[in-house]
Copies of this chain bind each other. A is one copy, B any other.
């Protein structure tokens, strides 16, 4: 049998060319994908969670198509924390190390939290999750290689990429963002270190650490830390090779981060890194940009628990995931109570139909063209991972399933095919979580106990002592205690 990627050839919108292209991996049957991961110095924000959920969909679909995927998503753990005043690390008495702020404690806290949130959202762990601090040697090596080519220069203990020298030698800085050199030079902000640069558009490969800077490593240029853009070039090529298939990230990383990555890669390896660059779009909240300063923001954990004044209720992570999947990854998505409530309804409808479909029987006939439907589902996903179109097709099946009484009007073989494909799309690709969850059992138990308490009260009223005794004894056996109080009877385990 041919692999699915041959049956449903994949097309990807490539930010580097601006075109939707037939996907053709470097190595037949294998995909190397790198996605810029979170900076773990605070809670992961919802926009990032959406980006990583989008790439989880992509990761899952690539694997489902039959590709062997190596998915690398990094953790940016190099922080820019400084010690108080001018004390500086080397002035801290070694004994007092435990009293000093330790960036890695912050990193650990938010990494654990990030993994928790992504797990709740049903995202698989990537194949490799490398850290920036774990690749200092590789970043120093890469900096040295660019210096050796004269496309970087040392200035006051820092090393900068020389954009003009690179472009004068045939480089194409600006290729991804489409910016021209004159715009770039005018547009640069007056950041720390501008006076050390030959050109405002130059960017740091290695930064000298001030005495107060906590995270620092020795290098040929003195104690310092890597520039922000370098880590992704170092880690993507280390694990995926000089030329790999897909590089993804949020839209906000396109410039300057990804532009700089391409220049660094090109300078070291003469490749752009990835062949296909993909960018996931942003979130808005109630039609406005999310922003901490205006309070127009929600954390993923707040969505799941309902603990944010802007929410009317909590939303299950699977509902939130479904909501995200209802928009294309490259479109802006607006969060609001209304939209989430609508998504919840759709989500539950999709799962309820699965419960019916699972137990349905086939009564024969041509009531639904299963093969054509299946082709449309794959067609949507193979067309640049179009999950909203996939969901629309799923609802066609829901309509058919819900309208059928006394068996589905298709053949037994088609029923099996419909069940299998529906299951694959809902649980494997969209990765929604079934209703057989902890809260489902708790909810059902609450309702079952309400009924038992009512039957017990009724038996007592009717002086039906044998039934009352039966209820008491069986609840005892079950370890369920009833407590009669002024506000009625409650139970506890």
Which chain A residues have a beta carbon within 8 Å of chain B's beta carbons?
A: 26-27, 30, 32, 68, 70, 94-99, 102, 104-105, 107-108, 112, 115, 125-131, 133-134, 136-137, 141, 217-218, 239-244, 269, 352, 355, 359, 435-438, 440-445, 447-452, 454-455, 458, 467, 470-471, 474-475, 477-481, 483, 492-493
Contacts and interface: CB of A to CB of B under 8 A. Distances in A.
Contacts of A444: 445, 478-480, 493
A104 B244 CA distance: 17
Contacts of A474: 447, 450-451, 454
A99 B450 contact: no
A475 B451 CA distance: 8
Contact of A452 (B240, B352, B452): B452
A126 B108 contact: yes
A114 to B, nearest CB: 12
A247 to B, nearest CB: 14
Q: Which 9 A-B pairs have CB atoms at the shortest separation, nearest pair first?
A: A97-B241, A447-B478, A134-B134, A441-B441, A438-B438, A448-B448, A445-B445, A104-B128, A451-B474
A30 B70 CA distance: 42
Given A105-B128, A108-B126, A128-B102, A94 B241 contact: yes
A30 B243 CA distance: 49
Contacts of A470: 451, 454-455
Contact of A217 (B96, B112, B137): B137
B98 A26 contact: yes
A355 B471 contact: no
A438 B438 CA distance: 5
B452 A95 contact: no
Count of identical protomers in the assembly: 2
Given A241-B98, A355-B492, A70 B105 contact: yes
Contacts of A239: 97, 102, 104
| Interface of A (DSSP majority class) | helix
A480 B128 contact: no
Contact of A27 (B99, B440, B467): B99
Which residue among A112, A436, A448 has the maximum number of chain B CB atoms within 10 Å of its CB? A448
B98 A436 contact: no
Contact of A95 (B105, B125, B243): B243
Contact of A448 (B127, B129, B467, B478): B478
Contacts of A105: 70, 127-128
B493 A440 contact: yes
A448 B450 contact: no
A104 B130 contact: yes
Given A218-B141, A448-B452, A131 B134 contact: yes
A458 B240 CA distance: 66
A188 B289 CA distance: 66
A420 B352 CA distance: 44
